[in-house]
Structure 1
Amino acid sequence: MGASLILGILALVSGLGLRYWINRRRFYRRSPTGAQGFSSYEKSVIVTNAERVGKLVAIVLIIFGVLFLWSYSRQKKAKEKTSQNIGIQNPL
């Protein structure tokens, strides 16, 4: 397996997992009225900003994961094409 395939899968799974974890925490923090419950204002600001940064990191990981997987597929197609061209030029 290629390094780009492994990096792509790891980045994609990490990004999706991070988004899931942040959204799950946000969901369980909500009250029946839909308001988020925090013990203090400072905690509210810190957690909200940390979640924003975490979501941006998750989006970047997902984008890199997709790009790595796309790169792997392009490399694989190029390798297959060159091996077909060599087989056509030099038949056994």
Structure 2
Amino acid sequence: MVASLVIGIIFLVLGLALRYWINRRKFYRRSPMGVEGFSSYESSVLIKLIEKVGKWIAYALIIFGLLSLWVYSLEKKERQQPEVTTENL
């Protein structure tokens, strides 16, 4: 029960941090004119590819984290409800 809460928080934070880091790198790579600067064509293609893959990984981490938190909330609700048993008399 607590494991899904911890995993959810960790994956959510990792996904958000990865997105922040990628967007921050992209922002600081821009010149005052708004153009991204790369040292070569190859580095441009490689960096953009890595950033796209990184963003998809970040999205997956965020979704998995949210799903884990949702599972935790369902487990918590299920645990709070008292069991009702019916007995035949």
Q: Please say whether Structure 1 and Structure 2 have the same fold, judged by a TM-score greater than 0.5.
A: yes
- Partner deviation per Cα, 1:51-76 (whole Å, 9 max, x = no partner): 00000000000000000000000000
- Residue aligning to 1:51: 51
Report the CA distance between 1:2 and its aligned residue.
1.0
Considering fraction of residues, name the structure with more helix. 1
- Partner deviation per Cα, 1:24-43 (whole Å, 9 max, x = no partner): 00000000111100001100
Percent of aligned pairs with the same residue? Answer: 59
Query: Does 2:77 correspond to 1:77?
Result: yes
* Structure 2 alignment gaps of length 5 or more: none
TM-score, normalised to structure 1, is: 0.88
- Residue aligning to 1:16: 16
SS at match of 2:83: helix
Q: Which runs of 4+ in 1 moved over 3 A?
A: none
- Between the two proteins, the alignment pairs up a number of residues equal to 85
